[in-house]
Amino acid sequence: MPELYFRVRWPDGATQRCYSPSTVVENYLTPGGVYELGDFVERSRTALGIASDRVREKYGFACTGASDQLAQIEETAAAYASLDGAEVTVEALHNADGSAR
C-alpha cells in the first residue's frame, strides 16, 4: 500500500509528522489547509479509519499504525481543546520517500 505522511502545525506552533498507510488522507486534508481543531480530528479519524480498513481488505488485519497515529492526534488535540478558535494547519503531504504530494 502506498504510505503517506502529513506534517501538521498545532495551535502553539509545534509540528508533528503523522503517518497513514494509504493515500486516502489526500481526500480529507489539503497541504496548506487550516482546520478548526475538532474538524481536523474528525477528518483524521475518518481518513485513518478508511486507511486501516483498506489494509484490512488487502492483508486481512487492521493497521495498528493508523490507529496508533489517530490516538496520538486525539491526545495532542485534547491539550488544545480549551483554546477558543484553535486551528491546525496541514503543512505538507509527503510520500514515504519524502517527495511532496
Asked, for residue 32, whether it belongs to a domain, the answer is yes
Question: What pLDDT does 98 receive?
Answer: 81
Residues of the chain with pLDDT under 50: none
**Total tally of structural domains belonging to the chain:** 1
Question: What pLDDT does 1 receive?
Answer: 63
Question: What pLDDT does 100 receive?
Answer: 84
Question: What pLDDT does 96 receive?
Answer: 81
Asked, for residue 49, whether it belongs to a domain, the answer is yes
Question: What pLDDT does 21 receive?
Answer: 95
Would you call 25 exposed, middle or buried from its count of C-beta atoms within 10 A (0-12, 13-18, 19+)? buried
- The type of residue at 72 is Q
Asked, for residue 82, whether it belongs to a domain, the answer is yes
Question: What pLDDT does 99 receive?
Answer: 86
Residues of the domain holding 67? 4-95
Asked, for residue 75, whether it belongs to a domain, the answer is yes
Whole-angstrom Cα distance, residue 60 to residue 80? 36
Asked, for residue 89, whether it belongs to a domain, the answer is yes
What are 29's three cell numbers? 486534508
